[in-house]
Amino acid sequence: MVSPELDKYIKNIEGEFDDIPMGRKKSLREIARFISTREDNNKMARVLFICTHNSRRSHMSQIWAQTAAYYYGIKNFESFSGGTEATAFHPNAVDSMKSAGFQIEVSSVGKNPVYQVTFSKDVPSLSVYSKKYNADVNPDKDFCAVLTCSDADENCPYIPGASFRISIPYEDPKASDGTGKEAEAYAEITHQIAREIFFLFSQVKN
């Protein structure tokens, strides 16, 4: 079971699946098909979320995907994230995910901190930090590459080892940094990613 706060958040977004545009649903179903095919053949389905700096959208997507897989009982699944360059998991993104109900703690400090993200007491926490998409900890063959920003989509026309590549770009909340409207902007993108990722996994489940 996920935490009560997170469970409430999830039940809210499950009621908003009809708000997702049809074009994006089509792309999300293609990712679901990739996962389902491996699930049906008792193989591990690995999805790597990629954006330019691996600091916001790709991390959010990775965390929500692993949470959704657990929530819907999809066992043979692992999510990853990476960038065309490594920076750090941005504090505003961390705060936004905390507000959604995740427990997030710093396990290693520095310019690129390592965070432990917990969504359930029943499973190990996720170790989250910024890295390039081809880092050793990420899959190097038979995985689905999901581009979460248009820059990464343009700069990575080919992802070595990916069996399937697809773009589902999200707006960058970075534009709100330093404006005093960070919480609202980050909450909005967190909500959109959560809604679409949970729709994706509801399709795998069904």
CA–centroid distance for 114 within its chain: 16
Give residue 198's pLDDT: 98
| CB-CB contact of 80 with 48 (8 Å) | yes
Return the closest-CA partner of residue 48 out of 36, 73, 65: 65
**Position 153 pLDDT exceeds 60:** no
Q: How confident is the model at residue 203 (pLDDT cuts 50, 70, 90)?
A: very high
Whether the Cβ atoms of residue 96 and residue 190 lie closer than 8 Å to each other = yes
CA-CA distance, 174 to 185, in Å (whole number)? 9
**Residues contacting 202, CB < 8 A, separation 6+:** 14, 17, 72
Helix H or strand E encompassing 43? none
What DSSP letter does each residue of 3-54 carry, written as one string?
Answer: -HHHHHHHHHHHTTGGGS-HHHHHHHHHHHHHHHHHHHTT--EEEEEEESSS
Nearest Cα residue to 80 out of 110, 108, 54 = 54
Q: Which domains does the chain have, with CATH numbers?
A: 4-205 (3.40.50.2300)
Nearest CA-CA partner of 174 in 67, 54, 69: 54
Tell me the per-residue pLDDT of 19-43, one tens digit each, with 9 for 90 and over: 999 999 999 999 999 999 998 889 9
pLDDT of amino acid 38: 92
